Amino acid sequence: MRFKCIYSIALLVVVSNLSAHCEFQTLAHLKPQANDKTQGRAVVELLRRLLGNRSRVLRISTQHRFRYYQNVCTQSYSTVWWDWPRWQREIDWMALNGINLPLAFTGQEALWQEVYLSLGLNQTEIDHFFTGPAFLAWNRMGNLFQWGGPLPQSWHVKQLYLQFKILDRMRSFGMLPVLPAFSGIVPQGIARLFPKANVTKLAPWSHFNCSYSCAYTLDPRDPLFRSIGSLFLSQLVKQFGTDHIYNTDTFNEMTPTSSDPTYLSAVSRAVFDTMTSVDHRAIWLMQGWLFVFDTAFWKPAQIQALLHGVPIGRMIVLDLFAESTPAFSLTKSFYGQPFIWCMLHNFGGNSGLFGTVESINSGPFDALAFPNSTLVGLGLAPEGIEQNPVVYELMSELAWRKEPVNLAKWVSLYAVRRYGSTHENLTAAWRLLFGSIYNCTVPHYKNHNHSPLVHRPSLHKTTEVWYQRADLYEAWRLLYQAAWPLMAQETFRYDLVDVTREVLQLLTTDYYREIRDAFQAQKLPELLTAGGVLVYDLLPELERLLSSDGHFLLGTWLERAHSLALDEAEARLYDMNARNQITLWGPEGNILDYASKEWGGLMEDYYSQRWSLFVNTLVECLERGRPFRQDAFNQAVFQVEKGFVFNKRKYPSKPQGDTYDIVSRIFLKYYPQALERLK
């Protein structure tokens, strides 16, 4: 959905200003494999796919060597079930926006399986190690093993075939795909085969216990580390070729065994040496997330030691969450290592309007002007995509700007481009949204959706928002009043549904407050009224709204998962992976509601069922004079949540109902209430 609005404008054939950062001589060898003729042919084919004969080509240059794309988590939160047509659309979108440094992690488990079999592990040990498809991102980073698995052999074959096509298309556009490298995480069976190896069992990750966490890690200074890493990278380069950039993250959300700078430097040196033992031109691309995730451990001495274990210029650091918590300014521009300023924006692929447009607009230019800046590019690093297209449009464009944009003017033009209409309501609505809900200025704010709607109910939910509610309601009114002639536009329908969804999410918070306050004041009539409206009207209306647009359907997510299965057993496995990740995230709700989505089907059978149980429980407590016990409710609602994961229900993958009629009914019913609540 993010690329739809670009179809109506000329395609940009982008040219990097390679001399802008000539001080990093070690990066000069990073060049596209495809020659100019091949890249030109790929662009022409792209133009024909998207625009037919309506296109022309415009050449512009950029001061940024790299335009990076993806987060290691995107592979699980968004792209896990993609087939080649969907990947082709995404790579087209990358080309349209000048992306030249994308992650390319698909299919690596097939190669790891071959490596581990060659070392002597048996299939059972390997099956015990890999997670299911929806959780592979955290298996690759050493956070999880086994959960959601085992991986079927058909998965390896299909993903390997897909990776060949992905790499071929990326390279045809002159992109430099980033391939994976060895971080030291190994199956438990390695300790059986090599009993003298320096293998350490890690502490539990997040809210998991050692049943699925506490992975085994091989000390990078152990000779076996280089042996395994070289085996994998040799196999990788043989199968996939290489553009000499490799990603691995040694301490992702895990505390190292020692804070000794000598140790940390030795670790990074060993990881890099493993890369160069196979590819002497290797560059290590590392996520800088660890430095902002665990500031208690990563002090200047530790950060500098890890970074300086690699020769200056042979590592590129992703300043992953720079729009909120930039690390470059705290590390003297990563102590000399090149870095890419990244916008993370979204955690878990959550639904919900959100942005930090002022920070996004100024941050890259602040990084460029920073004393002795080692900035070599800008990047998009969301954990999950297919949400908030305007934010990614803005960030992508900034790579081609020499100074910040006028946000009010920019978003006005965005409205015209996106809908092909100059209706004043559209520009007014987007200006309101950009000045409010898309301009969060709360320091270090993380875009998890904090709305009570998408979290397990309790009496202690967060209800504050970072913007003026009146601005959202007014933007909604403006869009609705301009809607009728624009409903044939896919981009407009999407935005109308998304803004209406956000309004109902906000109204859910209001009703939640009334439910909570009525219960605490022991006012049963008020509790019944607020709870009744929420459970029997607002949430069903939200379900109907979401079900009317193809971009908000649970059935699409599940259908994609099922399409990869060869038999019923695989279909059940993939179905469980797909459902669990967006709800319980683990066997016991270990990372509950982290990857929350507001989709038709999910709203009816998951969120609404939880809220119904919550309201009914509160009513029963008041009627019987009992206190509300959260622990008892959690046990009861867990059965509802788990029931959804295994209900086997088939959900529609095609929209149902008339969006305009549904929005009209919701607007006429709830807009006056929304204004009344502002008083």
Residue after which a domain boundary falls, among 384, 402, 420: 402
- For residue 388, being part of any structural domain is answered with yes
Tens-digit pLDDT profile for residues 342-369: 999 999 999 999 999 999 999 999 999 9
> Residue 425 has which token pair?
């309501």
Helix pair 659-677, 539-547: axis angle to 10 deg:
140
**pLDDT for the residue numbered 63:** 86
**pLDDT for the residue numbered 25:** 52
- Residues 351, 464, single domain; the answer is no
- Residues 127, 268, single domain; the answer is yes
Is residue 49 very low, low, confident or very high in pLDDT (cuts 50, 70, 90)? Answer: confident
DSSP, res 106: T
- Residues 386, 436, single domain; the answer is no
Residue after which a domain boundary falls, among 357, 385, 402: 402
- Residues 368, 471, single domain; the answer is no
pLDDT surpassing 60 at residue 21: no
pLDDT surpassing 50 at residue 103: yes
pLDDT surpassing 60 at residue 23: no
pLDDT surpassing 60 at residue 586: yes
- How far apart are alpha carbons 582 and 596 in whole angstroms? 5
The DSSP line for 584-644 is TSSTT-TTTTTT----BTHIIIIIHHHHHHHHHHHHHHHHHT----HHHHHHHHHHHHHHH
Give the mean pLDDT of the chain. 93
- Residues 394, 455, single domain; the answer is no
**pLDDT for the residue numbered 40:** 85
Q: Which helix (H) or strand (E) holds 295?
A: none
Residues 9-14 have a mean pLDDT of 37
Asked if residues 531 and 631 have their Cβ atoms less than 8 Å apart, the reply is: no
- Residues 125, 256, single domain; the answer is yes
Q: In b/e form, how buried is each residue of 77-114, taking b as 16+ CB within 10 angstroms? A: bbbbbbeeeebbebbbbbbbbbbbbbbbbbbbbbbbbe
Residue after which a domain boundary falls, among 402, 417, 439: 402
**pLDDT for the residue numbered 56:** 64
- For residue 534, being part of any structural domain is answered with yes
- How far apart are alpha carbons 379 and 486 in whole angstroms? 33
Work out how many domains the chain is built from and give that number: 2
- For residue 418, being part of any structural domain is answered with no
**pLDDT for the residue numbered 289:** 93
pLDDT surpassing 90 at residue 145: yes
- Residues 387, 501, single domain; the answer is no
**pLDDT for the residue numbered 445:** 86
- For residue 148, being part of any structural domain is answered with yes
Tens-digit pLDDT profile for residues 205-223: 999 999 999 989 999 889 9
- For residue 421, being part of any structural domain is answered with no
Edge-to-edge strand list for the sheet holding 199-201:
185-186, 216-218, 199-201
- Residues 641, 547, single domain; the answer is yes
Which domain does 542 fall in, by range?
431-677
- Residues 363, 474, single domain; the answer is no
Q: State how beta strands 315-319 and 283-287 pair.
A: parallel
> Residue 442 has which token pair?
């709360």
Would you call the peptide bond into 150 cis, given omega within 30 degrees of 0 as the criterion? yes
Amino acid (one-letter) located at 256 = P
**pLDDT for the residue numbered 9:** 30
- Residues 334, 463, single domain; the answer is no
- For residue 30, being part of any structural domain is answered with no
The DSSP line for 299-344 is -HHHHHHHHHTS-TTSEEEEETTTTTS-SGGGTHHHHT--EEEEE-
Q: In CATH, what number is assigned to the domain containing residue 225?
A: 3.20.20.80
Is residue 254 very low, low, confident or very high in pLDDT (cuts 50, 70, 90)? Answer: confident
Asked if residues 448 and 347 have their Cβ atoms less than 8 Å apart, the reply is: yes
pLDDT surpassing 90 at residue 36: no
Its pTM stands at: 0.94
Asked if residues 149 and 213 have their Cβ atoms less than 8 Å apart, the reply is: no
- For residue 55, being part of any structural domain is answered with no
Tens-digit pLDDT profile for residues 293-334: 999 999 999 999 999 999 999 999 999 999 999 999 999 999
Distance, CA of 212 to chain centre: 22
Number of neighbouring beta carbons within 10 Å of residue 652: 15
Tens-digit pLDDT profile for residues 602-613: 999 999 999 999
Terminal alpha carbon distance of the chain = 37
Which of 24, 96, 85, 109 minimizes the C-alpha distance to 55?
96
- Residues 452, 347, single domain; the answer is no
Phi/psi of residue 82, each to 5°?
-70, 145
Q: Kindly tell me the burial class for residue 29, based on how many C-beta atoms sit within 10 Å of its own C-beta (0-12, 13-18, 19 or more).
A: exposed
Is residue 3 very low, low, confident or very high in pLDDT (cuts 50, 70, 90)? Answer: very low
- How far apart are alpha carbons 577 and 280 in whole angstroms? 39
pLDDT surpassing 70 at residue 227: yes
**Which of the residue ranges 265-269, 412-416, 442-446, 469-473 would you say has the lowest mean pLDDT?**
442-446
Tens-digit pLDDT profile for residues 403-446: 999 999 999 999 999 999 999 999 999 999 999 999 999 988 88
- For residue 197, being part of any structural domain is answered with no
